[in-house]
Amino acid sequence: MFHLSRRQVVLGGAAGLGGLAEGAFAAAGVQPYGAVPSARQAAWHRLETYGFVHFTINTFTDREWGYGDESASLFNPSDFSANQIVEAAQAGGLKALILTAKHHDGFCLWPSAYTEHSIKNSPYKAGKGDIVRELAEACARKGLRFGTYLSPWDRNHAEYGRDAYVRYYHNQLEELTTQYGPLFEVWFDGANGGDGYYGGARERRRIDGATYYQWDRVREIVRRNQPQAVMFADAHMDIRWVGNEEGHAGDPCWPTVDATPFTKAKGNSGTRNGDIWNPAETDVSIRRGWFWHADEAPRSAANLLRLYFESVGRGSNLLLNMAPDRRGRVPDEDVRELKAWKALRDQLYAVNLVKGATVTASSHLSSQYKAANLLSDTAYWAAKVKDRISAWVEVKLPTAQTFDVIRLAEDINLGVRVDTFAIDIFKADGWQQVAQHQCIAYKRLVLLPTPVTTDRVRVRFVKADASPVIGQFGLFLKPAVIEAPEIRRDRSGMVTLLAANPKAAIYFTTDGSIPAASSPLYTHAVSLVDGGVIKAVARLPEGTVSEVSSASFDVSSASWRLVKPEAIPFSGAKFSGPSGVPYEVIIDLSHPYDLLGITLSPGETNPLLSEGPPAGYQIWISADGKDWGAPVAEGEFSNIANNRALQTVRFKAPAKGRFVRLVLPHPVAGSQKVAFKDFGIVTR
Ligand code: FUL
């Protein structure tokens, strides 16, 4: 079985947890409420958007998780440029970069003194290169902060699972935290699939992620060498995982947690009044995978803007991954979207519509905390200490303005004081509530579904546990961009197009051309039973048009028959196997095909039913459903536990047949039954 936890669960121990003791200061007259950030956490909050760089041998082998047996000679970027990567990050307004110095396959991008499985045995700069140094120096030159990812799981190391590896791991951490200048963050990933090369043993090894790596020692090394660096791990280090790799923080996403064990749900929402300051970091890749793959495209700027609202807008930081290609550069199309995304944010913040406004409040604590400070970026308005049951603050604009974004911030050094707040606007017939949410904390961007026009805006503190202390109030109009339609096909081959904005009309084509206003208007599902390409755009009534979304489908399952298990019809909602044994599925495609591969969509699984996605696969193809021969493919679904994106398995050579037999030996760690949403074939 795979090992349990995705990221390390590090429980207990007050050292370095942030919280009341570290770095808190109470402004005169206002006592902090509950947990507050440490100085290093407060500095981390201010970064808001920064980047990941996933780059290693996987870039050259087209994998997400290397097995650990890859030759160091495979690492050979043809035109590596640390400057280009840093410039790409700057083009997107990212303020720091975290590099995968060592991913799960164990290959080190720096010439570690403790292993031969590193860049020193690669052709890059004839073994004299050091990617960690090049990127650290480029970041320093261009004013970006730098951080490292050092995978605890190491599928290459012969001693993995034993004490000697833990010493090796700590030694590597010493190298990275002493030789590359100041680090702002050190990233500890808890993913562990169990099996690996392990110096040739090629076996499954189990460790207890909570104890094996000696987290107290890890913390001591980082604090000693990099006292200002925050540590990321599942739980109870400085920064927590947001619980998904899709770019969404919860609403609310409290920066505090309690001491109960980490779960994805808790990572996503945090815990109101939890006594550990442990804010969420939202990690997501600009492409489907974390590493570069030729057939993946970047997210659009409009989509990145949505992720920005759903992470930074909820008080989380956004860690956006870039995947350098085999040259060792961020692809041009990704840079284009990063630039366009930054331009959208610049446009969003170009005009703060509160200019010239006057502010009144239910009370103010003292002249130091006057109502007008609500609009300040550096000072705060504070209500009187007793004014917490029905505090409010009102902003009167010189003239009516149209906006759909309201920005608010608490002074987090005084804790998370506000529980629930509402936004009202004044209309001819009185006050009208337009939004209500929980949690402001470091920052809150309230995005209204449609812009509103008014000259008076009020924030009502519906529930506050301590008197509100608020600043950075702003009103903005989101640039008129809309996301391209989402394209989905069901098992019967019917394609549905969905626009994120309900006011948008969708135009589409199925002949490969770019849709225009003269193309068919989407009104109902379109049939693509035998596959094909569909392209679509969303268009708002005033003329704003989205980018083009495009999907290419293979033969649908409309005429397939499930031979095994017979119990569920092929149109069933989900495949869910038996407990504790491999799940075998046999499908009759009803015609023979030249099969190039298969696809599997994991979907969401129900942990309460002990379901988990398959950790790996074996596939056979047959002409008659009786004679199967040898498997045409077998392997693992890397990272499927955390990332439920579509999995594509390509066969080494085309296989002709009408029957597909899929054996899914076991689910990911922590579950008993294999379950998945859908299955497809690749014929083109
Ligand atoms: C996961 C890893 O398994 C992925 O490969 C990636 O590094 C992601 C950021 O974290 O747990």
Are both 452 and 517 inside the same structural domain?
no
Where residue 18 falls (left for φ over 0; alpha for ψ -120 to 50; beta otherwise) is left
Residue 496, CB half-sphere, CA atoms under 13 Å: how many? 7
Question: What is the 639 CA–ligand 1 centroid distance (Å)?
Answer: 7
Q: With beta carbons less than 8 A apart as the criterion, state whether 308 and 47 touch.
A: no
Give 343-372 pLDDT, tens digit per residue.
Answer: 999 999 999 999 999 999 999 999 999 999
Which residue's alpha carbon is at the smallest distance from atom 6 of ligand 1? 290
Question: What is the 537 CA–ligand 1 centroid distance (Å)?
Answer: 32
pLDDT exceeds 50 at position 648: yes
| Single-letter amino acid, residue 323 | A
Mean pLDDT along residues 38-65: 97
Are both 565 and 549 inside the same structural domain?
no
Residue 19 lies in a domain: no
pLDDT exceeds 90 at position 479: yes
Closest atom of ligand 1 to 190 CA is 11
Are both 344 and 363 inside the same structural domain?
no
Are both 191 and 81 inside the same structural domain?
yes
Question: What is the 50 CA–ligand 1 centroid distance (Å)?
Answer: 16
Q: With beta carbons less than 8 A apart as the criterion, state whether 485 and 497 touch.
A: yes
Are both 73 and 174 inside the same structural domain?
yes
Which residue's alpha carbon is at the smallest distance from atom 4 of ligand 1? 639
What values do phi and psi take at 424, rounded to 5?
A: -120, 150
Out of 189, 288, 322, 644, give the residue to mutate to test ligand 1, the one with the largest number of ligand atoms within 8 Å of its CB: 189
* 323/89 Cα distance (integer angstroms): 11
* 425/384 Cα distance (integer angstroms): 24
Q: Considering only CA atoms, which of 324, 280, 316 is closest in space to residue 298? A: 324
Which residue's alpha carbon is at the smallest distance from atom 10 of ligand 1? 189
**Residues flanking ligand 1, CB < 6 Å:** 6, 64, 189, 191, 283, 290, 639, 642
pLDDT exceeds 80 at position 63: yes
Residue 612 lies in a domain: yes
Cα dihedral value 516, 518, 524, 529, nearest 10? -70
Closest atom of ligand 1 to 189 CA is 11
Look at residues 505, 521, 553 and tell me which one is the last residue of a structural domain: 553
Residue 542 has a pLDDT of: 86
The H or E element spanning position 329 is none
Strands 469-476 and 561-564: unpaired
Tokens of 627: 């004679």
Closest atom of ligand 1 to 321 CA is 9
Closest atom of ligand 1 to 64 CA is 5
Helix-strand-coil percent breakdown of the chain, rounded to 5? 20, 35, 50
Tokens of 153: 């799981």
Mean pLDDT along residues 87-91: 98
Residue 605 has a pLDDT of: 81
Question: What is the 640 CA–ligand 1 centroid distance (Å)?
Answer: 10
Are both 510 and 604 inside the same structural domain?
no
Mean pLDDT along residues 267-285: 97
Residue 193 has a pLDDT of: 82
Residue 570 has a pLDDT of: 57
Residue 572 has a pLDDT of: 52
Residue 1 has a pLDDT of: 24
pLDDT exceeds 60 at position 541: yes
Can you spell out the DSSP letters for 261-322?
A: PP-HHHHHH--TT-SEE--EEEEEESSSSSS--TT--PPPHHHHHHHHHHHGGGTPEEEEEE
Residue 535 lies in a domain: yes
Question: What is the 54 CA–ligand 1 centroid distance (Å)?
Answer: 9
Are both 207 and 245 inside the same structural domain?
yes
The rounded Cα 61 to chain-centroid distance in angstroms is: 23
Mean pLDDT along residues 111-133: 98
Question: What is the 130 CA–ligand 1 centroid distance (Å)?
Answer: 22
Tokens of 358: 């006057």
Question: What is the 47 CA–ligand 1 centroid distance (Å)?
Answer: 21
Q: With beta carbons less than 8 A apart as the criterion, state whether 85 and 79 touch.
A: no
CATH number of the structural domain spanning residue 156: 3.20.20.80
Out of 9, 290, 292, 322, give the residue to mutate to test ligand 1, the one with the largest number of ligand atoms within 8 Å of its CB: 290
Closest atom of ligand 1 to 187 CA is 9
Look at residues 458, 476, 494 and tell me which one is the last residue of a structural domain: 476
Question: What is the 7 CA–ligand 1 centroid distance (Å)?
Answer: 9
Can you spell out the DSSP letters for 137-183?
A: HHHHHHT-EEEEEE-S--SS-TTTTSHHHHHHHHHHHHHHHHSSS--
Where in the sequence is the domain holding 366, given as residue range(s)?
358-476
Residue 18 lies in a domain: no
Question: What is the 562 CA–ligand 1 centroid distance (Å)?
Answer: 34
Strands 49-53 and 317-322: parallel
Residue 667 lies in a domain: yes
388 pLDDT band, cuts 50/70/90, is confident
Question: What is the 108 CA–ligand 1 centroid distance (Å)?
Answer: 16
Q: Considering only CA atoms, which of 681, 565, 663 is closest in space to residue 620? A: 663
* 181/71 Cα distance (integer angstroms): 29
Specify the higher pLDDT residue, 128 or 491. Answer: 128
| Residue 71: Cβ within 10 Å count | 12
Strand partners, 118: 108
CA distances from 437 to 323, 406, 419, 424, 441 (A): 35, 12, 8, 12, 12
Q: Is there a cis peptide before residue 252, judged by omega within 30 degrees of 0?
A: yes
Percent pLDDT > 90 in the chain is 84
Give 177-228 pLDDT, tens digit per residue.
Answer: 999 999 999 999 988 888 999 999 999 999 999 999 999 999 999 999 999 9
* 66/74 Cα distance (integer angstroms): 12
Out of 192, 234, 639, give the residue to mutate to test ligand 1, the one with the largest number of ligand atoms within 8 Å of its CB: 639
Give 625-638 pLDDT, tens digit per residue.
Answer: 999 999 999 999 99
Residue 190 has a pLDDT of: 84
First vs last C-alpha separation in the chain: 35
Give 224-253 pLDDT, tens digit per residue.
Answer: 999 999 999 865 799 999 999 999 999 999
* 24/20 Cα distance (integer angstroms): 6
Question: What is the 645 CA–ligand 1 centroid distance (Å)?
Answer: 13
662 pLDDT band, cuts 50/70/90, is very high
Question: What is the 191 CA–ligand 1 centroid distance (Å)?
Answer: 7
Are both 213 and 132 inside the same structural domain?
yes
Question: What is the 166 CA–ligand 1 centroid distance (Å)?
Answer: 20
Closest atom of ligand 1 to 65 CA is 5
Look at residues 511, 528, 553 and tell me which one is the last residue of a structural domain: 553
567 pLDDT band, cuts 50/70/90, is low
Are both 325 and 369 inside the same structural domain?
no
Q: Considering only CA atoms, which of 61, 91, 59 is closest in space to residue 301? A: 91
Are both 530 and 585 inside the same structural domain?
no
Give 576-614 pLDDT, tens digit per residue.
Answer: 899 999 999 999 999 999 999 999 999 888 878 889 999
| Single-letter amino acid, residue 444 | R
SS3 133: helix
Question: What is the 46 CA–ligand 1 centroid distance (Å)?
Answer: 24
Closest atom of ligand 1 to 54 CA is 7
CATH number of the structural domain spanning residue 526: 2.60.40.10
Which residue's alpha carbon is at the smallest distance from atom 11 of ligand 1? 191
* 460/287 Cα distance (integer angstroms): 40
Please list, in sequence order, all residues whose beta carbon lies within 8 angstroms of the beta carbon of residue 58, skipping any fewer than 6 positions away.
64, 65, 66, 103, 105, 291
| Average pLDDT over the chain, rounded to an integer | 92
Are both 201 and 56 inside the same structural domain?
yes
Residue 203 lies in a domain: yes
Closest atom of ligand 1 to 191 CA is 11
Residue 14 lies in a domain: no
Question: Could you tell me the pTM of the whole model?
Answer: 0.90
Are both 287 and 199 inside the same structural domain?
yes
Domain tally, the chain: 4
CATH number of the structural domain spanning residue 577: 2.60.120.260
Closest atom of ligand 1 to 291 CA is 5
Residue 672 lies in a domain: yes
What values do phi and psi take at 423, rounded to 5?
A: -110, 130
Q: Is there a cis peptide before residue 565, judged by omega within 30 degrees of 0?
A: yes
Which residue's alpha carbon is at the smallest distance from atom 1 of ligand 1? 191
Question: What is the 304 CA–ligand 1 centroid distance (Å)?
Answer: 20
Mean pLDDT along residues 296-323: 97
Out of 67, 148, 239, 245, give the residue to mutate to test ligand 1, the one with the largest number of ligand atoms within 8 Å of its CB: 245
pLDDT exceeds 50 at position 9: no
The CA-CA-CA angle for residues 661, 663, 666, to 5°, reads 165
pLDDT exceeds 80 at position 667: yes
Please list, in sequence order, all residues whose beta carbon lies within 8 angstroms of the beta carbon of residue 208, skipping any fewer than 6 positions away.
3
Can you spell out the DSSP letters for 343-383?
A: HHHHHHHH--TTTT-EEEES--SSGGG-GGGGG-SS--EE-
Q: With beta carbons less than 8 A apart as the criterion, state whether 657 and 598 touch.
A: no
